Amino acid sequence: MTSSELKTQFFKYFEARGHKIIDSASLLPDNDPTVLFTTAGMHPLVPYLMGEKHPEGTRLVNVQKCLRTGDIDEVGDATHHTFFEMLGNWSLGDYFKKEVIEFSTEFLLGILKLDKEKIGISIFGGNDDVKEADTESENHWLDQGFDKKRIQHIKENWWGPAGETGPCGPDTEMFYWTGQGEAPEVFDENDEGWVEIWNDVLMQYNKTADGKYETLKQQNIDTGMGLERTLAVLNGLDDNYLTELFQPIIKKIEELSGKKYEDDKRSFRIVADHIRSAVFVMGDPKGITPSNKDQGYVLRRLIRRAIRFAKKLGIDKNFTSELVEVIIPIYQDDYSELKDNKSFIISELIKEEEKFIETLEKGLQVFDKLSSQNKLDEKTAFVLFTTYGFPVEMTLEMAADKNIKLDKTKIDKELKQHQELSRTASAGMFKGGLADDSDNTKRHHTAAHLMLEALRRILGDHVEQKGSNINEDRIRFDFSHPDKLTDEQKQQVEDIVNEQIQRKLPIHFEEMTVDEAKKIGATGVFEHKYGDKVKVYFMGDFSKEICGGPHVDNTGKLGGFKIKKEQSSSAGVRRIKATLN
């Protein structure tokens, strides 16, 4: 089965059961400061999971572009990726546990024809917060004919909430046996022969500010099926990189390196995965460039890590652009933005390659100096990596050539401490947000609408939103504009926004098609794919914008608007930080 066939089967099955197909949201999330990238299908749907009405109804199905780097060190094995596609079906206060388990069983066995004897199930086994195991789900699986020995209770089977408070609940996961021989009689998720392919999240509770778990009035279903893993399983493969999604990339790396995949699978996989991820990040409608902050930093790390492992394979020349030429044709039918942004992707990758080569050269000079002075130790190896971006593996290899022994465990300890500090700083930066549905977050989100319209009136219609990070403390908003704003322009924007606040404009939304939204002059990122219907939010007679919500119901509730900072975000993109008082 091909990836296209799998997607088609998934959509067809759930469409027949009342689900509306919605398009993938951007990899760069709007108004969710808890994450840098869309890491799961639920992120773009948080407002609807929390009660906002979705224009397509209560049953949805989609495939969502996702990016995760939390387990980047595991990329290189047969099943982990940074970028991946997630198939999902959704119930917004409609069906619940019984129905979703019936759907999951019927799709896996009846549509995909998987072997029931190779399926294992995990359910929530109870934890310190919620004592009771999810025996309701267990009974539904038993009703579907699964053996009790193949159902494992796991206390970690819990999702959410996305913020400090909000919807959350148990989940149940489906695994498939890809190991040698027959599947064990008893399912154990810790056995590497079992590969997770589908996850049904059962949003049953609301976590309150005082840490209590109350039953939700709107109980939701959120499922996620990893496309790459499932595709491998369906084709009898124990390695995702042998599927049609990766083979053209792998073969190109073989051609460039003169080596075979079997010679160094880990390096091949890392290069293929990371460059694929970079292509999707830069090819996104809100695509960004490599930098030393936020999403740009993650992108830079992915590209440079790919270059490092390419060098390990013996690829010395610029190679990333050649991989782009094989990656885009794999995905352009589903994601036309990749083809549209091809020249941008290639030019940025080439620039980043050249920059990293310079970095490596500087690192080599420092390495030679330290080693000649007998000052090369675990501490300096760590500094070489953090200051010059010089790979630890290269330091270890070159030190060995000079008969200098370094303890990798000590370097790893330094790196772990560094990562913990970075992670703590990032948690401080991105805490809170739309996911907690706070009043201040709604106010800032609403003010961002007014600010965008004000920017368009002052700077011109070329201004479009390129990203945002909004929480209860402030607005961070990226928009397309080539030049720094003058003090006069910033003051004009502030004055316009504050005028609309003083007018106490009523706010409401109307559901309509994208074409209808365009006809009435609503703003939106029209390169992005929307569903059949969208919500258009009206701020009185001042602005009309496609958005999912949530917002306050009157601009008079916003208070005073103030721009705190305006700066460059990336080429042709400016960033404003603003607050309300």
Cα–Cα distance between 119 and 125 in angstroms, integer?
19
Spatial contact of 111 and 249, defined as CB atoms under 8 Å apart: no
Spatial contact of 496 and 457, defined as CB atoms under 8 Å apart: yes
- Residue 57 is classified by DSSP as -
Confidence at residue 348, expressed as pLDDT on a 0 to 100 scale? 94
Cα–Cα distance between 303 and 389 in angstroms, integer?
12
Confidence at residue 430, expressed as pLDDT on a 0 to 100 scale? 31
SS (H, E, C) 176-231: EECCCCCCCCCCCCCCCCEEEEEEEEEEEEEECCCCCEEEEEEEEEEEEEEHHHHH
Spatial contact of 451 and 578, defined as CB atoms under 8 Å apart: yes
Residue 86's Cα: distance from chain center in Å?
A: 10
pLDDT tens for the chain, residues 1 to 581: 999 999 999 999 999 999 999 999 999 887 666 678 888 888 788 888 878 899 999 999 999 999 988 778 788 898 899 999 999 999 999 999 999 999 999 999 999 999 999 999 999 999 888 889 999 999 999 999 999 999 999 999 998 776 677 788 999 999 999 988 999 999 999 898 999 999 999 999 888 888 889 888 889 999 999 999 999 999 999 899 999 999 999 999 999 999 999 999 999 999 999 999 999 999 998 878 988 778 888 898 899 889 988 988 999 888 999 999 999 999 999 999 999 999 999 999 999 998 888 777 788 888 888 888 888 888 888 888 777 767 777 788 788 878 888 988 888 887 777 655 544 433 733 333 344 456 788 899 899 999 999 999 999 989 988 878 787 788 989 898 989 999 999 999 999 999 999 999 999 888 888 888 889 988 886 555 566 788 899 999 999 998 876 789 999 999 899 999 998 877 788 999 999 98
Closest of 483, 556, 532, 538 to residue 23, by C-alpha:
532
Classify residue 271 by burial, with Cβ atoms within 10 Å: 0-12, 13-18, 19+.
Answer: buried
Residue given tokens 């290069």 in the structure block: 271
Confidence at residue 425, expressed as pLDDT on a 0 to 100 scale? 36
For residue 105, give every residue at least 6 positions away whose Cβ sits within 8 Å of its Cβ, in sequence order, or none: 141, 144
Cα–Cα distance between 487 and 490 in angstroms, integer?
5
Confidence at residue 423, expressed as pLDDT on a 0 to 100 scale? 44
What H or E segment, with its residue span, contains residue 283? Answer: helix 265-283
Residue given tokens 């370097």 in the structure block: 411
Closest of 170, 108, 186 to residue 138, by C-alpha:
170
Classify residue 315 by burial, with Cβ atoms within 10 Å: 0-12, 13-18, 19+.
Answer: buried
SS3 for 36?
coil
> Pairing mode, if any, of strands 20-21 and 59-67?
parallel
For residue 193, give every residue at least 6 positions away whose Cβ sits within 8 Å of its Cβ, in sequence order, or none: 177, 178, 179, 180, 183, 184
Starting at the edge strand that comes first in sequence, how are the strands of the sheet with 534-539 ordered? 507-512, 534-539, 543-546
Closest of 349, 287, 328 to residue 37, by C-alpha:
287
Confidence at residue 471, expressed as pLDDT on a 0 to 100 scale? 78
CATH number assigned to the domain covering 438-580: 3.30.980.10
Spatial contact of 395 and 371, defined as CB atoms under 8 Å apart: no
Residue 336's Cα: distance from chain center in Å?
A: 19
Cα–Cα distance between 549 and 531 in angstroms, integer?
16
Start-end of H helices in 284-341? 294-312, 320-331, 336-340
Classify residue 76 as left (phi > 0), alpha (psi -120 to 50) or beta: left
Q: Using N-to-C axis directions, what is the helix angle for 294-312 and 265-283, rounded to 10°? A: 150
Confidence at residue 312, expressed as pLDDT on a 0 to 100 scale? 87
Confidence at residue 31, expressed as pLDDT on a 0 to 100 scale? 61
Cα–Cα distance between 43 and 162 in angstroms, integer?
8
- Residue 265, φ and ψ in degrees, nearest 5: -60, -40
Predicted TM-score (pTM) of the model is 0.73
For residue 169, give every residue at least 6 positions away whose Cβ sits within 8 Å of its Cβ, in sequence order, or none: 158, 159, 160, 201, 202, 203, 204, 205, 216, 219
Task: Give the CA dihedral 50, 53, 58, 63, nearest 10 degrees.
Answer: -80
For residue 315, give every residue at least 6 positions away whose Cβ sits within 8 Å of its Cβ, in sequence order, or none: 253, 256, 257
Closest of 318, 366, 372 to residue 346, by C-alpha:
318
* CATH fold label, 3-237: BirA Bifunctional Protein; domain 2 (3.30.930)
- Residue 518, φ and ψ in degrees, nearest 5: -65, -40
Q: Using N-to-C axis directions, what is the helix angle for 294-312 and 342-372, rounded to 10°? A: 70
Q: Using N-to-C axis directions, what is the helix angle for 408-430 and 392-401, rounded to 10°? A: 160
Confidence at residue 429, expressed as pLDDT on a 0 to 100 scale? 31
Token pair of 26 as six digits = 């951007």
Confidence at residue 424, expressed as pLDDT on a 0 to 100 scale? 41
Cα–Cα distance between 32 and 167 in angstroms, integer?
15
Cα–Cα distance between 517 and 558 in angstroms, integer?
26
